[in-house]
Amino acid sequence: MKKIHFEKLQETLYNEKLSNGLDVYILPKRGFSKTFVTFTTKYGSVDRTFIPRGKDEAVTVPDGIAHFLEHKMFEKEDGDVFQKFSVKGASANAFTSFTRTAYLFSATDMLYDNTEILLDFVQEPYFTQKTVDKEKGIIAQEITMYDDEPDWRLYFGTIENLYHEHPVKIDIAGTVESIQDITAEHLYECYETFYHPSNMVLFVVGAVDPEEMMAFIKKNQDAKTFDEPADIVRIFPTEGDTAANTERTLAMDISKPKFNMGMKCNKTDVEGEEMLIQELSSGLVLDLLFGRTSDFYTAAYNEGLIDESFSYDFTLENGFGFAMVGSDTEHPEQLEAAIRQTMRTAVDNWPITNIELDRMRKKKIGQFMRSLNSPEFIANQFTRYAFNNMNLFDVVPTLEKLTVQHLQEAFQTFADDNGHTIYSVVPADKAQ
């Protein structure tokens, strides 16, 4: 077991890659009563075309299947896994993103019993056509719930606008129609391909004894047999740098128009340190151009172009990435002009110097320190970073060495007008 001490952060991380390929990380947190454990596979909604384990030819599976599989993992022959966690006082959950499926629990008692439940339920699939069909009603209601959430529609509409082919444009849960095609065989095929321990990370953070916990996990894993690790072949369509649609509008029953501008990132074949630098730099650029201390924000807020719903965000994964800037607004045209003007000005006359960078760097270091109070943040982010060959605990040293040049280069990856799009959700009574 490796022991990595981070002196400045006063944290010690324990890590071991087990013989079956599972990567285990343990981070004890002083003073905490709860332990948070995540068991995550590098498998999300974008992994829809791949060569199944043991086969030669690629298949494309129905949309929403990774999320469907996540739901179905909780049902076993002897009942619902939530019931088992509840008896042991654990609050359990799961989520599916574009690139990951995570199973997790938080508990203040019976840590080993709960860890065993987690490891065992994720590693013992049980799918029948009857239980699969039963789940369709539940997930249909989940999809319908999201259909009525204007901010979710705004977010996904923007991504749909940005991408021609890449499956990031497909809603994570799929559609009520697409999930009807899902069968138990599909689920087994996806499970066998993506849930091998060598494609997964287990992260334990909080009240935990690292040696004892590692020994417990090893014993659990050693008692199970797995196939040899195999490389996973995922197939993605080629995707250009331009936005697929420049502008679209959706009418919903809302009170105030919602506006979002998406900016496609043209450098996404990255991982490791390069990715960390690009991601942190892009975040800093957005903070400086659009954050609360920016000229843009001050003017837009004073003029009523944006309100408290204003937000911006940068997403980067291997194969896709985008910045978004949006707000509820009664003046979408003026807001669009102000955002475009801010981007154009930064292209023509780069506004960020060391003074701004140093201030924002301090802010980001503080934010990172604050987030280390949260076991949930540490486990989820560490795993995401690990799947991209980055280390969460490199964030502060990387922030410390960023230069204005890094920020300018990162900005260039989403500055091109041709990769920009507008998506709006407007009140139905004011539409057309």
Partner 1 sequence: MFKKVELQEGVTLYIRKSDQFKTVNFSVKWKTALDEKKSAQRAVLSNVLQDSNGRYRTQTAFRNKLDELYGTVLYADVAKRGETHIFSLYAECVNEEYLSEGGVLDDVLGLIQTTIFDPNLVNGQFDEAIVNREKRSVIERIRSLYDDKTRYAQKRMLELIRPNHPASASSYGTEADVEALTSADLFAAYTQMLAEDAIDIYIVGDIDDNDMINKIKSTFTFNARKPQAASHAFVTQPIANQQHVREQQDMKQGKLHLGFSTPVTFQHPDYAKMQMTNGVFGAFAHSKLFMNVREKESMAYYASSSYASHYGLLYVNAGIDAELEDKAVNLIKEQLVALQQGDITALELEQTKALLANGIKSAFDSARGQIEVFDQYKEQDEHFTAEKLIAGWQAVTKEDVQQMASEITLEIVYLLSGKEAV
* Catalytic center residues: 70
Sheet strands side by side (includes 311-317): 247-252, 420-427, 258-264, 320-328, 311-317
Q: Does 144 bind partner 1 (CB under 8 A)?
A: yes
Interacting residues with partner 1 between 312 and 341 (CB under 8 A): 328
Q: Give one word for 319, left, alpha or beta, with left for phi > 0 and alpha for psi -120 to 50.
A: left
Task: Report, in Å, the least distance between residue 270 CB and partner 1.
Answer: 26
Q: What is the DSSP string of 206-221?
A: ES--HHHHHHHHHHHH
Is the CB of residue 51 less than 8 Å from the CB of residue 231?
A: no
Q: Does 374 bind partner 1 (CB under 8 A)?
A: yes
Alpha carbon of residue 172 to chain centroid? 11
Task: Report, in Å, the least distance between residue 228 CB and partner 1.
Answer: 36
Number of residues that bind partner 1 (CB under 8 A): 69
Which is closer to partner 1, CB of 36 or CB of 163? 36
Rounded Cα distance, 187 and 73, in Å: 10
Rounded Cα distance, 26 and 394, in Å: 17
Q: Does 307 bind partner 1 (CB under 8 A)?
A: yes
Q: Which stretch binds partner 1 (CB under 8 A): 191-199, 226-234, 266-274, 357-365?
A: 357-365
Picking from 174, 188, 167, the residue whose alpha carbon sits closest to that of residue 72 is 188
Q: Sketch the per residue contact string, 251 through 290, with partner 1: x for CB under 8 A, - otherwise.
A: -xxxxx----------------------------------
Phi, psi of 28 (to 5 degrees): -70, 140
Task: Report, in Å, the least distance between residue 93 CB and partner 1.
Answer: 9
Q: Does 78 bind partner 1 (CB under 8 A)?
A: no
Q: Does 6 bind partner 1 (CB under 8 A)?
A: no
83 burial level (CB within 10 Å; 0-12, 13-18, 19+): exposed
What is the per-residue burial (b if ≥16 Cβ within 10 Å, else e) of 235-244?
A: ebeebeebbb
Which is closer to partner 1, CB of 291 or CB of 319? 291
Picking from 426, 428, 247, the residue whose alpha carbon sits closest to that of residue 331 is 426
Q: Which stretch binds partner 1 (CB under 8 A): 51-59, 144-152, 314-322, 333-341?
A: 144-152
* Binder among 4, 58, 337, 428 for partner 1 (CB under 8 A): 428
Picking from 106, 400, 425, 81, the residue whose alpha carbon sits closest to that of residue 254 is 425
Q: Which stretch binds partner 1 (CB under 8 A): 132-140, 191-199, 313-321, 342-350?
A: 132-140
Task: Report, in Å, the least distance between residue 76 CB and partner 1.
Answer: 12
Q: Does 349 bind partner 1 (CB under 8 A)?
A: no
**Rounded alpha-carbon distances, angstroms, from residue 380 to 23, 36, 134, 279:** 14, 10, 30, 17
Rounded Cα distance, 190 and 223, in Å: 23
Task: Report, in Å, the least distance between residue 79 CB and partner 1.
Answer: 9
Which is closer to partner 1, CB of 152 or CB of 236? 152
Q: Does 353 bind partner 1 (CB under 8 A)?
A: no
Letter for the amino acid at 419?
Answer: G
Q: What angle do CA 205, 201, 131 make, to 5 degrees?
A: 105
Q: Does 234 bind partner 1 (CB under 8 A)?
A: no
Q: Which stretch binds partner 1 (CB under 8 A): 85-93, 182-190, 210-218, 221-229?
A: 85-93
* Binder among 28, 157, 167, 206 for partner 1 (CB under 8 A): 206
Q: Does 370 bind partner 1 (CB under 8 A)?
A: yes
Task: Report, in Å, the least distance between residue 328 CB and partner 1.
Answer: 7
Is the CB of residue 81 less than 8 Å from the CB of residue 121?
A: yes
List interacting residues with partner 1 (CB under 8 A).
8-10, 29-34, 80, 82-83, 85-92, 106-109, 134-139, 141-142, 144-145, 147-150, 206, 252-256, 292-293, 298, 301-302, 304, 307-309, 328, 359-360, 362-367, 369-370, 372-375, 428
